[in-house]
Amino acid sequence: MTPSYRAIFALTALFSLAGCAQQNPQLPALNKEIKQLNQKLTTLTTLASALEQQTQLNRQSTSGAYILPAAQSPALLNSDFGQLSLSLSNVTSDTMGTSGLLLIKSTSGKPLPAFSATLDWGQLDQVTGKPLTVDMQTQTIEVTPRLLPASEQSVEVRFSNIAPENLGFVHLHHLTVIPTAAEVVAQQP
């Protein structure tokens, strides 16, 4: 009789384990959802890290404002003609390197004057998170108002000799108002 109890026990255990081996039909969908959530969390972590880096660079900056494309967030700049919000969008590869759209907006809503500014760009040091000045490039941009005064302007900018994925920072500084023709005439004796 003992062998039959062993056989019954073995068969019961086998059926129990076979029942555990059946896969829940919702498990693949749950695994897919977990992967998607992990990807979103990774993206948010990357954005938060870049935004923290951008904020830190701007706190330490004595002139101008830094925009980090990876932060996908505007930076604020106090200028002689008010506080400006600066953001960079549509960063894409082109034949000479990278192009993008620089949006400059007056936070007070006042119309922007005509002005020139220096624009630096380059890579960030992977260890310190600070701009690498070795291969940094510079250009001067001019922002001219439209026919009707506006509180924001879009400027198409080209960042030569750098791929979009390597564009670590953009630094806008030395904003200088360009006098209008009427102001120049009024200043003449």
Q: What is the pLDDT of residues 65-84, one digit of tens each?
A: 999 999 999 999 999 999 99
Q: What pLDDT is attached to residue 1?
A: 47
Mean pLDDT of 103-119: 95
For residue 24, the 8-state DSSP code is P
Q: What is the pLDDT of residue 130?
A: 92
- C-alpha distance from residue 95 to each of 12, 160, 187 (Å): 71, 9, 44
**Half-sphere exposure (Cβ direction) of 26: Cα atoms closer than 13 Å:** 0
Top pLDDT among 37 and 98 is at 98
Res 179: pLDDT: 86
pLDDT value, residue 17? 60
pLDDT of residue 139: 96
Q: Are 159 and 100 in contact (CB under 8 A)?
A: yes
Q: What is the mean pLDDT of residues 38-61?
A: 91
| Gyration radius of the chain over CA positions | 29
Q: Assess if CATH 2.60.40.1180 describes domain 40-179.
A: no
The total of other beta-carbon atoms located within 10 Å of residue 100's CB is 23
Domain boundaries, given as residue ranges, for the chain: 40-179
Q: What is the pLDDT of residue 20?
A: 57
Reported as a single tens digit per residue, the pLDDT across 155-185 is: 999 999 999 999 999 999 999 999 876 555 5
Return d(Cα 18, Cα 24) in angstroms, integer: 13
For residue 85, what are the contacts with CB-CB under 8 A and spacing of at least 6? 74, 75, 76, 77, 103, 104, 105, 106, 107
CA separation (Å) from 61 to 11, 96, 105, 133?
Answer: 75, 29, 20, 14
Q: Higher confidence at residue 145 or residue 34?
A: 34
Average pLDDT over residues 46-75: 93
